[in-house]
Amino acid sequence: MSKPLVVAIDGPSGTGKSSVSKAVAKQLGLAYLDTGAMYRALAWSCLDVAIDFDDGSAVAEHSRTFDLRMGMDPAAPTVAVGTRRIDREIREDAVTSVVSRVATNLDVRADMLTRQRALIAEGVQHSGGVVAEGRDITTVVAPDADVRILMTASEEARMARRSRQLRVSAESTRSQIIDRDRTDSTVSQFTTAADGVVTVDTSHIDFRQSVAAVLHVVKEAVGGDVDLSTPAG
């Protein structure tokens, strides 16, 4: 890759952001940043040290001071607080059900913005670029990214994927994703594409086709600078 490449991908839950972003980062030899995992890590850490979620300033203060460490290798991304790895813990219901409470705290978002921009700069420096995904990457965190994509999918497709992924009923998935997206959308706009953002609708395409669709958008945006010949590892 001749020059740094930043790919920003946003979208609601279950559209395929994480899995597709990881595969694209692998294919392009870039770092991978899961910004949702950062909010999840904060929620986990607040639970761990028993911070009252109703106390917005205590949550924001904790966000500014906790020792969050993100590993950005797309083949094995990691999340830790200090030396404690919490990759599995942040996916548990206890965290999923409270994560929007920390993510809708505007002081928390300001802190995460600083952390995320620093991580993107690190990805550019060490890996020649980064694929960063979340809810506000194309609009707030990296509005100048070389490639900006909004992944969408029908509510049915998203619920079906999540229930398959978590092995739970579609109904219990509803509150996990639809209600959470509704709360999240009070602070970030991730259901319609902002100016210059390309929409990739994954409702009727499978995972491999979604990866190919994103790679196609990257290629269109940066042309010959991208080598798509290396197979994903």
Ligand X SMILES: Nc1ncnc2c1ncn2[C@@H]1O[C@H](COP(=O)(O)OP(=O)(O)O)[C@@H](O)[C@H]1O
Given the rule CB under 6 A, which residues bind ligand X?
11, 13-20, 161, 165, 202, 205-207, 210
The nearer residue to ligand X, 51 or 102, going by C-beta atoms, is 102
The nearer residue to ligand CDP, 11 or 129, going by C-beta atoms, is 11
7 binds, among ligand CDP, ligand X, none (CB under 5 to 8 A by kind): none
Burial of 50: CB neighbours in 10 Å, binned 0-12, 13-18, 19+ = exposed
What's the order of all strands across the beta sheet hosting 68-71? 68-71, 78-81, 84-85
Are 7 and 127 a contacting pair, CB within 8 Å? no
Q: Does 180 bind ligand CDP (CB under 6 A)?
A: yes
What's the order of all strands across the beta sheet hosting 147-152? 31-34, 129-134, 5-10, 147-152, 198-201
14 is in an annotated binding site: yes
The nearer residue to ligand X, 165 or 230, going by C-beta atoms, is 165
The nearer residue to ligand X, 19 or 104, going by C-beta atoms, is 19
213 binds, among ligand CDP, ligand X, none (CB under 5 to 8 A by kind): none
Burial of 47: CB neighbours in 10 Å, binned 0-12, 13-18, 19+ = middle
139 is in an annotated binding site: no
Footprint of ligand CDP on this chain (CB under 6 A)? 13, 18, 35-37, 39-40, 99-100, 103, 134-137, 180, 184, 188
